């Protein structure tokens, strides 16, 4: 089994297409990140850091009022890069305070709603209690420089596309290539060519997924830390625009840990789907095309905002691997009357689906015929 | 040891590729003769579990091979008609991979790989990528992989295609020497491959078993149907149109024809002793035959 696993790993990692894509992405990616960091119009990372050093502190009403006054008094016509960076930082901090206020307003609204509900043990009441208790835990009382962690977290927007491409290129041919090369005749007529080889391919796919994510992790952390420093991991996720209405009381480090865990989980799930498609495809081209459509289609459709397709897009592998959509708003599923948070429910459901895909591989390969 | 094919049929959509075939195989070499599309490969694929019979069953030592599953696949060696290879694997790595698939332990596999590379005359090229091999070399590596697990049942589909005459003889002798305690089923168009080593010949036509018998007995069935005649060159087309003509040999006094016919094809014709090529011609179309 161990030697079969090594051979399967060797087969994945000796595909020229994998290495070409690796090189394009992992040489191009750091260059792109460094290039884009120096190209933000008017705002430089050095001046932003300097502005935060002056402005970081508590997000109290009194302080924000002063900052607002300072912003209003600023001369917007003559603006050096330093002044522009300072002004943008001021606006960011004020908007952070707005987010904090929105959280407080939401808590009050929930409390009123809870009071209006007569049945204090109903599902709706439980849902409101859950959301309220989550909002209670959010600690967004001060602001600090967090550009490094923010960049690291935001990376997955593009990183997910890289993961998807590398998974499709590396794994789509894992079974279908045996048919394309004619090797399936030898494999399927050999002692371990059905069950054990399937397990070996599965383990090799898991290692490949981990490798891809690991490499991206290193590049992401390395480049962002180098560009922006690693300060600010303890800031709440609400510093990021997309999480302004999030009920989750994560700091950036906690969110990044969850993000990587879920990204890996859903990437593994997508890998299992690719393997399943590969096992059912007679040619590698067919397998690559089907897997690519399943990954890219929701991404394309999301830009058209077609009604009725929201759930299809929301629970697509691309969207789930990106993770952030699950943590933007309070979303629950009621399972046996108990509200379960969407990320938890989605993780459980997709883990089950992935296990089913994995288990399906065995009977498919076991019954495979060569005609 | 016995491999029993029991009323086996295989249907592909609207085509019946193999129709109710039954035969038994015991230790020794069996030649499998049939034209293209006769159902040889389909039957062989069923024998190596690549295809499941639509009806009937295949038994190995009395047990259904479908039930035996891995235990059966452990005792078979198979060389398909078109050998599958990983182009970026060296010969050595390729054989080590197949050894893993066959469940052979690493140490034993390394020895066996050395031994077989020697047998198929590829030791010098063991570190070369198989993608760069010639057709004949690919076929030889295919033969080596089929023998890796010392199979009790060896099934080889057109094994000598692409081999030069020297390699063909070498392979024929190899099969002959290992067939003492195993079942070898060899499908070929090259009748000389099986002429001297086959214990029995299985003739299949349009998915049906026509004959399964010793070569001598099969040849005996056509002993009055083979004729030789020397004719004028311009008469050749007339004979080709009217009869199954095998060998055509240019001679000093005309053209010598070997004809398969129920009755004397010409007053000048004389009877000849049949061989397996004649047998093949008798049952199959002339263009299918390769000497």
- Measure the CA–CA gap between A23 and A361, rounded to whole angstroms: 31
User: Of the ranges A2-11, A175-184, A258-267, B274-283, which one carries the lowest mean pLDDT score?
Assistant: B274-283
- Measure the CA–CA gap between B13 and A7, rounded to whole angstroms: 37
pLDDT for the residue numbered A99? 86
| 3-state secondary structure at position A57 | strand
Strand partners, A100: none
Of the partner residues A183, A191, A195, the one whose CB lies closest to the CB of residue B102: A191
Contact B251, B229 (CB under 8 A): no
Nearest C-alpha of chain B: how many angstroms from A181?
5
Answer whether B78 sits within 8 Å of A183, measured CB to CB.
no
- Measure the CA–CA gap between B174 and A191, rounded to whole angstroms: 24
Answer whether A183 sits within 8 Å of B86, measured CB to CB.
yes
- Residues of A whose CB is below 8 A from B48: 189
- Measure the CA–CA gap between B65 and B3, rounded to whole angstroms: 9
Nearest C-alpha of chain A: how many angstroms from B105?
9
Strand partners, B63: B60
Answer whether A189 sits within 8 Å of B84, measured CB to CB.
no
| 3-state secondary structure at position A241 | helix
pLDDT, tens digit, 9 for 90 and up, residues A96-148: 888 888 888 998 999 888 888 766 677 788 888 899 999 988 888 888 888 88
- Measure the CA–CA gap between B210 and A350, rounded to whole angstroms: 56
pLDDT, tens digit, 9 for 90 and up, residues B90-132: 999 999 999 999 999 999 999 999 999 998 889 999 999 999 9
Task: Tell me whether residue B201 is exposed, middle or buried, using C-beta atoms within 10 angstroms of its C-beta: 0 to 12, 13 to 18, 19 or more.
Answer: buried
Using the predicted structure, report yes or no on whether residue A252 has a pLDDT greater than 90: yes
The mean pLDDT value for A273-293 works out to 94
Nearest C-alpha of chain A: how many angstroms from B281?
28
Q: What angle do CA B203, B207, B213 make, to 5 degrees?
A: 20
Strand partners, A338: A335
Nearest C-alpha of chain B: how many angstroms from A83?
59
Contact A181, B86 (CB under 8 A): yes
Nearest C-alpha of chain A: how many angstroms from B177?
23
How far CA B227 is from CA of B240, B246, B272, B286, in Å, comes to: 13, 10, 5, 16
pLDDT, tens digit, 9 for 90 and up, residues B250-268: 888 889 999 998 889 888 8
Q: What angle do CA A159, A163, A169 make, to 5 degrees?
A: 145
How far CA A134 is from CA of A14, A102, A342, B106, in Å, comes to: 48, 14, 14, 57
Nearest C-alpha of chain A: how many angstroms from B138?
13
Q: Most B CBs within 10 Å: which of A185, A187, A362, as the mutation test of the B interface?
A: A185
pLDDT, tens digit, 9 for 90 and up, residues B202-224: 989 889 998 888 888 888 888 88
Residue of B nearest to A7 (CA): B97
Token duo for residue A279: 């096992």
CA dihedral over A155, A79, A67, A95, signed as positive or negative: negative
Q: What angle do CA A301, A307, A313 make, to 5 degrees?
A: 40
The mean pLDDT value for A352-362 works out to 95
Answer whether A181 sits within 8 Å of B85, measured CB to CB.
yes
Token duo for residue B66: 């479908």
Contact B211, B203 (CB under 8 A): yes
Q: Sheet harboring B55-60: ordered strands across?
A: B15-25, B3-12, B55-60, B63-64
Any CB–CB contact under 8 A between B49 and chain A? yes
pLDDT for the residue numbered B291? 41
Any CB–CB contact under 8 A between B96 and chain A? yes
Answer whether B49 sits within 8 Å of A188, measured CB to CB.
yes
| 3-state secondary structure at position A278 | helix
- Measure the CA–CA gap between B138 and B146, rounded to whole angstroms: 12
CB pairs under 8 A between A and B: 75
* Residue appearing with tokens 């884009």: A36
Answer whether B74 sits within 8 Å of A188, measured CB to CB.
no
Answer whether B149 sits within 8 Å of A191, measured CB to CB.
yes
Q: How far is CA A162 from the centre of its chain?
A: 12
Q: What angle do CA A26, A32, A38 make, to 5 degrees?
A: 145
pLDDT for the residue numbered A157? 83
Ranges of each domain in chain B: 3-219, 224-272
Q: What angle do CA A313, A262, A214 make, to 5 degrees?
A: 115
- Residues of A whose CB is below 8 A from B139: none
Answer whether A3 sits within 8 Å of B149, measured CB to CB.
no
What is the band of A186 on the pLDDT scale with cuts at 50, 70, 90?
Answer: very high
Note the pTM of the prediction, 2 decimals: 0.86
* Residue appearing with tokens 């002339």: B286
Any CB–CB contact under 8 A between B82 and chain A? yes
Q: Cβ–Cβ contacts within 10 Å for residue B163, how many?
A: 21
- Residues of B whose CB is below 8 A from A193: 73, 101
DSSP characters for A128-157?
HHHHHHHHHT----EE---HHHHHHHHTHH
| 3-state secondary structure at position B77 | strand
Residue (of B86, B87, B166, B81) closest to B120 by Cα position: B166
What is this model's ipTM? 0.84
What is the band of B290 on the pLDDT scale with cuts at 50, 70, 90?
Answer: very low
Using the predicted structure, report yes or no on whether residue A37 has a pLDDT greater than 70: no
pLDDT for the residue numbered A192? 94
pLDDT for the residue numbered B286? 45
- Measure the CA–CA gap between A220 and A82, rounded to whole angstroms: 27
Residue (of A14, A20, A104, A30) closest to A60 by Cα position: A104
Residues from A contacting B (CB-CB < 8 Å) are 3-4, 7, 11, 14, 178, 181-195, 197, 369-371
What is the band of A55 on the pLDDT scale with cuts at 50, 70, 90?
Answer: confident
- Measure the CA–CA gap between A33 and A43, rounded to whole angstroms: 15
Any CB–CB contact under 8 A between B50 and chain A? yes
Residue of A nearest to B47 (CA): A189
Of the partner residues B52, B85, B103, the one whose CB lies closest to the CB of residue A191: B103
- Secondary structure, 3-state, B8-56: EEEEECCEEEEEEEEEEECCEEEEEECCCCCCHHHHHHHHCCCCCCCEE
Token duo for residue A370: 């060569």
pLDDT, tens digit, 9 for 90 and up, residues B162-182: 778 888 888 888 888 888 889
pLDDT, tens digit, 9 for 90 and up, residues A79-88: 677 777 788 8
Q: What are phi and psi of A331, to 5 degrees?
A: -130, 130
Q: Which residue has the higher pLDDT, B60 or A45?
A: B60
- Measure the CA–CA gap between A353 and B289, rounded to whole angstroms: 54
DSSP letter for B214, please.
-
Any CB–CB contact under 8 A between B110 and chain A? no
Nearest C-alpha of chain B: how many angstroms from A205?
18
pLDDT for the residue numbered A78? 62
Superfamily of B3-219 according to CATH? P-loop containing nucleotide triphosphate hydrolases (3.40.50.300)
Average pLDDT over chain A reads 87
């Amino acid at each position: 089994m161990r030697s079969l696993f090594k051979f399967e790993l060797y087969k994945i990692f000796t595909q020229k297409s994998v290495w070409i894509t690796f090189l394009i992405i992992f040489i191009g990616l750091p260059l792109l990140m460094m290039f884009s960091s120096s190209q933000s119009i008017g705002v430089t990372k050095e001046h932003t850091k300097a502005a935060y050093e002056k402005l970081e502190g508590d997000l109290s009403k009194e302080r924000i009022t002063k900052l607002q006054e300072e912003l209003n008094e600023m001369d917007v016509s003559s603006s050096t890069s330093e002044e522009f960076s300072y002004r943008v930082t001021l606006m960011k901090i004020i908007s952070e305070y707005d987010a904090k206020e929105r959280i407080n307003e939401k808590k009050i609204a929930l409390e009123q709603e809870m009071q209006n509900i007569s049945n204090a043990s109903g599902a709706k009441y439980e849902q409101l209690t859950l959301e309220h208790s989550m909002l209670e835990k959010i600690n967004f009382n001060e602001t600090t420089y967090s550009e490094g962690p923010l960049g690291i977290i935001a990376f997955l927007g593009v990183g997910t596309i890289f993961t998807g491409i590398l998974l499709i290129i590396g794994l789509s041919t894992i079974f279908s290539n045996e048919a394309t090369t004619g090797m399936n005749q030898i494999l399927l007529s050999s002692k371990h060519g059905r069950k054990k080889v399937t397990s070996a391919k599965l383990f090799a796919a898991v290692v490949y997924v981990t490798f891809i994510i690991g490499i991206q992790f290193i590049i992401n952390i390395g480049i962002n830390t180098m560009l922006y420093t690693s300060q600010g991991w303890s800031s709440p996720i609400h510093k990021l625009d997309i999480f302004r209405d999030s009920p989750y009381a994560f700091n950036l480090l906690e969110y990044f840990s969850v993000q990587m865990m879920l990204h890996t989980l859903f990437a593994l799930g997508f890998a299992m789907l690719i393997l399943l498609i590969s096992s059912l495809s007679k040619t590698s081209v067919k397998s690559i095309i089907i897997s690519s459509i399943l990954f890219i289609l929701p991404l394309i459709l999301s830009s058209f905002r077609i009604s009725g397709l929201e759930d299809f897009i929301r629970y697509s592998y691309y969207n789930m691997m990106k993770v952030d959509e699950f943590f933007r708003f309070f979303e629950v599923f009621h399972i046996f009357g108990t509200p379960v948070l969407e990320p938890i429910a989605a993780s459980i459901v997709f883990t089950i689906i992935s296990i089913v895909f994995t288990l399906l591989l065995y009977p498919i390969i076991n019954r495979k015929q060569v005609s | 040891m016995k491999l029993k094919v029991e009323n086996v049929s295989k249907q592909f959509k609207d085509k019946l590729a193999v129709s109710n075939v039954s035969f038994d195989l015991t230790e020794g070499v069996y030649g499998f003769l049939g034209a293209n599309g006769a159902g040889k490969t389909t039957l062989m694929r069923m024998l190596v579990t690549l295809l499941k019979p639509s009806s009937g069953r295949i038994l190995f030592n009395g047990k259904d091979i479908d039930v035996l599953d891995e235990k059966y696949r452990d005792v078979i060696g198979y060389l398909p008609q078109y050998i599958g290879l990983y182009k970026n694997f060296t010969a050595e790595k390729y054989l080590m991979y197949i050894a893993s698939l066959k469940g052979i332990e690493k140490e034993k596999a390394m020895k066996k790989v050395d031994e077989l590379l020697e047998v198929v005359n590829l030791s010098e090229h063991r570190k070369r990528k198989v993608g760069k091999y010639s057709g004949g070399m690919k076929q030889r590596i295919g033969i080596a992989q089929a023998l890796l697990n010392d199979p009790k049942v060896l099934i080889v589909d057109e094994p000598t295609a692409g081999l030069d005459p020297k390699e063909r003889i070498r392979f024929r002798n190899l099969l002959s020497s290992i067939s003492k305690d195993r079942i070898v089923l060899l499908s070929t168009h090259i009748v000389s491959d099986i002429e001297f080593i086959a214990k029995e010949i299985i003739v299949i036509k349009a998915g049906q078993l026509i004959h399964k018998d010793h070569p001598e007995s099969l040849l005996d069935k056509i002993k009055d149907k083979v004729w030789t005649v020397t004719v004028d060159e311009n008469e050749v087309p007339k004979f080709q149109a009217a009869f199954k003509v095998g060998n055509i040999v240019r001679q000093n006094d005309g053209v010598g024809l070997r004809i398969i016919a129920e009755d004397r094809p010409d007053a000048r014709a004389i009877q000849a002793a049949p061989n397996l090529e004649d047998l093949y011609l008798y049952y199959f179309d002339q263009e299918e035959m390769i000497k």
